[in-house]
Structures are given as C-alpha cells and as structure tokens.
C-alpha cells in the first residue's frame, strides 16, 4: 500500500514529529482562514508553536510578518521561547503578545493622529475609577446614588462594543443612560487632556486608527501577513473587529492576511468581561471559506475525568459538537464527598491531601482547590493554617497593587507624562506636604476655566487666588522637585537611576525608613524590589528587545502596566510545593495532578445570580467543564449540606451539574444524610447550630481596630476591621506583604503584641 502524503511528511519533517493527524493538518494548513477547535488538554499550544515554526522554516515567512496574540504575557513569553527552541533566535523578532500589548505598540507609533503624544499613560481600573469619581463630582452627581464603579462598568462595556460618547448618547434609552453618556463624554475629554488611555481605549483607539487612517492600516496590513489568535472564544466585540481590520478582505486591493484562530467554545467563561461566544460559534459565517479542524484527543486527563466533563458539557445547546477522548486509560473514578458544613468540607480536603502525601501518591504542590467565588477561600485558609498545610491563594493583593508600589509608580508615570492628572493627584501629598483636596479642587477649577491641564494649573498656582498661601508654597516646591526629576527622563537616563532618584527626592523612602511601624520595613523591601525590577528590565539581552523598542522609563512603565493575574500563579511542576487555591475563572489554562472542585451546590455553583437565566447557566456549565478538565489523575468533587450565611445555617440543594455526571465514573465516600447525592436533605432545622469543626470549645480573643498582632504564618499585622462576637468573632488584619486576611478568631493562631 502506498503511504499517503501526510505519512511521508511526518516521517520526513521533524516539525510534525509527535503530532496526531488533526494536529498536523492544523500546522500545515495554508490558504484560507483556519479555525482550530481545541478541546481542553488537546495540545493547542504545541499546535500554535509548531505552526509558527512551520511558517518560518517551511513556508519562508519572515518573523516580522507574523502577529500572534495570546491572553496573558506569560503565555506570550512561553510561546516565543518554544518557537525559538524550534527555529532559533530569529523567532525573537516576531510580535507575540497580548491584545493590549500589541495595541500599545501600534499606538506608540500612531497615537499622535488621535491627539495624544506617544508618551501617553495607561490607566488601570483603579485609576479609571478615581478619574470617574472626579468627573461625577464635577457634574454634581450624588456618589451614593451614582457609584463610580457602576459608571466605570457601563463605560467599559460601551468601549468593548466600540461605542464612543456620542454613539452611546445616541443609543441611550432612559434618563440613567443619558447621565452615563454625560459622564462618559467628560471622562473621555479628561483622559485626552491627561494624555492617558484606559485599558479599553487601547483596543478602541487602535481600531479607530485602522478605520480612520487608510495609510496606517495599509502599513500594518502589508506587514502582518499571518495573524494567529489564541483563546478566540474569549474575545469581545472590539477584539473581534480589531482582528478583522488587521486581516482585511480581498475588496481592499490587497490579499487578506492568513488567519488562524484557536479556541474552544466549551471554555468560553468570560461573558462578564464582555467576551462573546458568537465570535467562535459563527467563525465559519464570518469567513465562509474557512477550514475547521477538531482536536479531540486529550493528553492531560484520564478517560473517567473526560467522560464526566463530556457528559456535563453536552447539556449546553450553544456549542460545536466534540467529544474528548484519551488513550491514557480509564484511571481512578472521581471521588464525591457530601460534607455537613463548609468546615467539614475543608477538613475532609485537608485530611485527604495529607493522606495522599503519606501514601506517596500526590504532594501539596500537585494539588489545587477550586471554588466559584473568592470568599470561599476563607474557611480553607483557616483549616489549612491549623493543619500547618502550605498553601497559596491566587488572586489576592498583587505586588503591583500594593500601596507603596503604586505610589512610586505614580511618581514615575508623572515623570514620563506630566499631564497625567490621576497620578499627580495620587502623589502630590505623598508623603504629606500640607496640600489638601480643597486646594486641589481650586487648582482643577482654575485649569478648567483657563482650558489648561491640571499640571499647568499647578505650575500657575501663584495666579490662583483661591489656594491658601501655605498650600501654594507646598505646590511650588512639589512642581519644582518634579520638574527637576523630569529632566532625567529628557536626558534618557536609565530607568533604574530615575526610580532611585524619585525614591530619594520625593521623600517616600525617608518616610518609610524613619517610621517605627514594623510593617514599613516590608514596604521598604517592596520599593527595593521595584528598583530590582527596573534593573532587570534594562539588563535584558539585545535579542529580547522588539525592533522598535528602546530602553526607557516609558517602556518600563508599559511593561509594568500590562502585567496580568497569571503572574501570580506558582511556577514549576510542583507549583512551588504548596496547595494552590483559586477561583475557577483563574484556573483556566492550568492543570494539576490532583484537583478538588468544591462548593457544588445550586446557589454557590452555579452562582445564585445565574439561576433561571439559560445563557448564564450555560456559561456556568462551561465553567464546570473548565474545572473538571484541569485534573490530570485525581478529581474530587464536594458539596456541603449547609453553609453559614450571616451567621445562620443556609441549606442549598446539590448542584444540578452533579446530576449530569454519569454514576459509573464517580464513587461517593459520603453521601450525607440523603441516600442520593442528587437529593437535598431538609432534616435539620435552621435553629440547629452547625457542629464545631474541631470538636472542642475555644474562646475567641477580643481585638480592636489599630491593635498590633502576630500570626504564626503571616507575621506582624495591624487590625483594620472587626466583626461578629463570641464564636463568630472575625477580624480583618493587614499583614503587609501578605495583604489583608479575614480571620475567624476562634481558630486563628494570633497573639496580641
């Protein structure tokens, strides 16, 4: 029998080695658009990297002609490394980045067309909310009736739909939306005046450049001949249009770029961020000549785990049919556990992790605990601390969100862009200089009346009769200090030198060094770490720099601005040797030998706000599918018969997703008081107190706000809030580098100092 062409290629071509036929087809496809429907654990990253390597080494595509888009910086870095391993250092000149990073690179070249300078600031969510608060105040809107967070969410949604302020006003259907339109218009004006863009602007403004300026579009179209998009199911409308503009059509006088998108409709779980599942479900309608390749072979999980996941997800109507399979064998059945309470659930999991460790089957570093909402981590943290089990909660206070780090970054952002109003307002009285909010409001009013920026208003404070003389003098000293530091930026001084100079000159470092608060020692360490980060940034080898990238303060700030949550996840095979705890949304893209999927109750998971909404229940089911398919060998599923809510037991029925798991793939260790896991027991009355997790009585200590305490794991802390009494007494304690922790005092190993 004559071998087919694909067999011969596989024998000959090392780039296709180890790929199954479907993966090979996805790697070698050429011509029209390609949709790779990649099920969980089906090797999509391998396919993407091999395809990019194949383009360069077999189809002679130049690296600068390739644009690959991922959803995290971490994934982008890994992809670049993998391609470089296959084709050599030439791969370093490709554009492999997140949507936001790619857009920043385009806008650094094109922003002047839109009235920005190339040194524009990037506002994160907190900066954006702060500016909206100022705008709402300017428009005399009651902050309690009209919270800034609500405005921010609605403006973000509008930008994700590519609606500018006027478009939004035209579409407004009620008085509230008209108010939002007013806030949006002023907010956008103030962003432009501050030479700043928020995260949503990065994509919106890039699309605007491509749609309004044909010569700019032609330049990027002729450059990027191959566009690859990972996690396509997570794209929103703005990202979808951006891809369409970059790819182009035949009608525009230039052959469209070759498009390859990879994704899985079954893992579309970011609807709350504006992601729309239609982008992947209707890909073939958008691109009629598209080829679709299904990757159904799973290389991660055992067949029992996949059978459970397949059975759950098939209940969704909005999906492309596929069925994951593995040749790794059936593996162990899933383990189900019905706990009496959330404490019993956490204790069972802690005992099981210990037991697996004793047996040499699985270590804490092999293990992940998933839950639907962040609040569920509290009980696990308390139980794990009591059991001396090492753990890490992913999604807590990140390094770049710590107060002292944000303060120093705000100084640097002002030096890079003197018009950055939000950063100016943050630092002008840090350390304290006697410049109050009232004085700043007078400066703001003066600036608006004279149609100048906030910075210009500060420089002309002597003309502003409303500002008290002491505050005016302090403002003059501040602007003088900032202006002197800004000279370093003009002189293209190394970022690390500017960081150190800002630390010294601002008084930030002195204030913390002189402090008697032990926590401030940690803050000094964090600031030193930022200096180290700036040194790492400027010491990168030449080949790691983009072709248009130069070492600068603006470049450093850009890198920092675009850091994502994924950087918080422990690295390595054993994930740092600790149990990893995270929400299901954070878990996407990860895998662990042992997984505990917890809180499987209607009202917890699926979440109470989704009940009764078909589309939302389908997204919750996709979230369950993501959770199930993170496990490689061992999967535990647990629920509690009741949970404490506001201090009283609350009974939730079992999650509807449990009924969808075939009985032959799961073994129930404990089915609670009901004979079947699918029947909820009501034998307890609401007056019955939950059993004590430890079985012994203990007395909670009494703490007051401001008191200093010591904790066995977290070290020194300051009490910032207290709630409850007796057995229910809780305290929120700030532990510096560990952030704020909410502790149940009855169990917490805390001592007063």
Return the closest-CA partner of residue 536 out of 499, 485, 506.
Answer: 499
Distance between CA atoms of 480 and 459, rounded to whole angstroms?
9
User: Is 565 noted as a catalytic residue in this protein?
Assistant: no
Both tokens of 610, joined, read: 């989704």
Distance between CA atoms of 387 and 393, rounded to whole angstroms?
16
**Residue 25 belongs to what H/E stretch?**
helix 21-28
**How wide is the angle at C-alpha 528 spanned by C-alphas 526 and 533, nearest 5°?**
90
CA dist 561 to 73, 409, 456, 566, Å? 11, 10, 25, 14
Return the residue matching tokens 């059978």.
307
- Residue 430: count other Cβ atoms within 10 Å of its Cβ: 19
Catalytic residue among 124, 200, 201, 231: 231
CA dihedral 312, 355, 592, 643 (to 10 degrees): 50
Catalytic residue among 230, 382, 421, 602: 230
Distance between CA atoms of 589 and 569, rounded to whole angstroms?
11
User: Is 490 noted as a catalytic residue in this protein?
Assistant: no
CA 231 to chain centre: 14
- Where would I find the H helices in 69-213? 73-87, 99-110, 125-138, 148-160, 165-171, 175-193, 199-212
Return the residue matching tokens 């500016």.
131
Catalytic residue among 44, 105, 372, 621: 44
- Residue 336: count other Cβ atoms within 10 Å of its Cβ: 21
Distance between CA atoms of 706 and 685, rounded to whole angstroms?
39
- Contact status, residue 26 vs residue 55, Cβ threshold 8 Å: no
At a CB cut-off of 8 Å and minimum separation 6, what does 206 contact? 103, 106, 107, 110, 242
Catalytic residue among 267, 479, 594, 718: 267
Distance between CA atoms of 53 and 58, rounded to whole angstroms?
8
Q: What is the DSSP letter of 654?
A: B
User: Is 510 noted as a catalytic residue in this protein?
Assistant: no
Q: What is the DSSP letter of 4?
A: P
- Contact status, residue 601 vs residue 654, Cβ threshold 8 Å: yes
43 phi, psi to nearest 5 deg: 85, 35
Return the residue matching tokens 């189900």.
336
Distance between CA atoms of 83 and 49, rounded to whole angstroms?
6
Distance between CA atoms of 647 and 690, rounded to whole angstroms?
10
Distance between CA atoms of 511 and 523, rounded to whole angstroms?
11
User: Is 44 noted as a catalytic residue in this protein?
Assistant: yes
Distance between CA atoms of 492 and 555, rounded to whole angstroms?
12
Helix then strand count (H, E) for the chain reads 29, 22
Distance between CA atoms of 367 and 83, rounded to whole angstroms?
30
Catalytic residue among 322, 426, 630, 632: 630
> How big is the chain by its Cα radius of gyration, in Å?
28
User: Is 630 noted as a catalytic residue in this protein?
Assistant: yes
Catalytic residue among 13, 45, 505, 684: 45
Beta-bridge partner residues of 719: 733
First-to-last alpha carbon distance for the chain, in angstroms, is 83
User: Is 205 noted as a catalytic residue in this protein?
Assistant: no
| DSSP helix/strand/coil, 480 | helix
**Residue 639 belongs to what H/E stretch?**
strand 631-640
CA 301 to chain centre: 25
Return the residue matching tokens 């906030």.
454
Return the residue matching tokens 């000279």.
487
At a CB cut-off of 8 Å and minimum separation 6, what does 245 contact? 207, 210, 211, 217
Distance between CA atoms of 467 and 381, rounded to whole angstroms?
50
- Contact status, residue 155 vs residue 126, Cβ threshold 8 Å: no
Q: What is the DSSP letter of 42?
A: S
Cite the active site residues: 44-45, 230-231, 267, 630
């Amino acid at each position: 029998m004559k071998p087919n062409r694909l067999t011969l290629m596989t024998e000959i071509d090392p780039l296709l080695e180890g790929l199954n036929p479907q993966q090979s087809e996805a790697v070698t496809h050429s011509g029209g658009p390609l949709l790779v429907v990649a099920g969980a654990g089906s090797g999509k990253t391998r396919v993407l990297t091999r395809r990019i390597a194949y383009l360069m080494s077999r189809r002679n595509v130049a690296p600068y002609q390739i644009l690959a888009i991922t959803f995290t910086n971490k994934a982008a870095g890994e992809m670049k490394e993998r391609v470089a391993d296959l084709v050599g250092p030439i791969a370093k000149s490709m554009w492999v980045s997140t949507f936001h990073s790619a857009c920043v690179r385009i806008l650094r070249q094109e922003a002047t067309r839109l009235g920005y300078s190339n040194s524009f600031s990037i506002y994160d969510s907190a900066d954006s909310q702060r500016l909206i608060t100022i705008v709402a105040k300017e428009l005399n809107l009651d902050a309690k009736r009209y919270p800034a967070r609500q405005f921010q969410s609605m403006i973000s949604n509008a930008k994700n739909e590519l609606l500018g302020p006027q478009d939004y006003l035209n579409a407004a259907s009620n008085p509230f939306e008209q108010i939002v339109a007013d806030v949006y218009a002023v907010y956008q004006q103030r962003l432009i005046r501050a030479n700043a863009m928020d995260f949503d602007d990065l994509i919106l403004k890039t699309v605007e450049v491509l749609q309004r300026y044909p010569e700019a579009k032609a330049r990027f179209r002729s450059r990027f001949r191959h566009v690859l998009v990972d996690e396509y199911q997570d794209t929103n409308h703005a990202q979808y249009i951006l891809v369409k503009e970059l790819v182009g059509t035949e009608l525009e006088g230039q052959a469209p770029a070759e498009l390859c998108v990879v994704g899985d409709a079954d893992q579309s779980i970011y609807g709350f961020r504006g992601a729309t599942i239609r982008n992947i479900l209707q890909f073939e309608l958008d691109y009629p000549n598209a080829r679709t390749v299904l990757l159904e072979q799973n290389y991660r999980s055992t067949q029992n785990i996949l059978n459970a996941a397949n059975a759950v997800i098939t209940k969704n109507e909005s999906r492309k049919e596929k069925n994951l399979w593995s040749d790794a064998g059936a593996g162990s059945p899933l383990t189900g556990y019905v706990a009496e309470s959330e404490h019993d659930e956490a204790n069972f999991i802690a005992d099981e992790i210990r037991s697996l460790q004793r047996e040499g089957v699985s270590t804490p570093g092999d293990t992940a605990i998933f839950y639907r909402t962040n609040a569920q981590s509290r009980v696990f943290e308390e139980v794990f601390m009591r059991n001396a089990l090492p753990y890490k909660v992913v999604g807590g206070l990140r390094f770049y969100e710590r107060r002292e780090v944000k303060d120093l970054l705000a100084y640097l952002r002002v030096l890079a862009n003197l018009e950055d109003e939000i950063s100016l307002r943050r630092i002008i009285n840090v350390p304290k200089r006697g410049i109050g909010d009232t004085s700043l409001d007078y400066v703001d009013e003066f600036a608006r009346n004279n149609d100048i920026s906030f910075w210009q208003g500060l420089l002309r404070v002597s003309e502003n009769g409303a500002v008290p003389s002491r505050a005016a003098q302090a403002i003059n000293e501040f602007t003088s200090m900032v202006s002197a530091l800004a000279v370093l930026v003009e002189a293209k001084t190394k970022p690390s030198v500017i960081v150190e100079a800002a630390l010294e000159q601002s008084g930030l470092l002195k204030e913390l060094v002189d402090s008697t608060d032990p926590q401030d020692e940690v803050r000094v360490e964090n600031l030193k770490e930022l200096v180290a980060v700036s040194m790492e940034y400027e010491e990168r080898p030449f080949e790691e720099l983009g072709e248009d990238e130069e070492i600068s303060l603006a470049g450093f700030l850009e890198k920092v601005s675009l850091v994502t949550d994924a950087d918080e996840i422990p690295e390595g095979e054993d994930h740092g040797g600790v149990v990893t705890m995270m929400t299901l949304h954070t878990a996407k893209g990860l895998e662990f030998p042992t997984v505990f999927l917890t809180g499987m109750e209607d009202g917890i998971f699926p979440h109470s706000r989704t009940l009764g909404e078909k589309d939302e229940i389908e997204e919750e089911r996709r979230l369950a599918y993501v959770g199930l398919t993170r496990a490689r060998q061992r999967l535990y599923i647990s629920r509690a018969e009741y949970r404490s809510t506001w201090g009283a037991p609350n009974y939730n029925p079992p999650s509807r997703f449990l009924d969808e798991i075939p009985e032959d793939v799961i073994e129930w260790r404990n089915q609670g008081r009901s004979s079947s896991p699918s029947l909820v027991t009501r034998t307890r009355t609401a007056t019955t107190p939950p059993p004590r997790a430890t079985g012994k009585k203990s007395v909670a200590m009494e703490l007051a706000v401001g008191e200093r305490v010591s904790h066995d794991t977290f070290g020194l802390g300051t009490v910032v809030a207290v709630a409850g009494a007796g057995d229910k007494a809780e305290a929120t304690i700030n532990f510096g580098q560990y952030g704020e922790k909410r502790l149940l005092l009855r169990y917490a190993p805390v001592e007063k100092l």
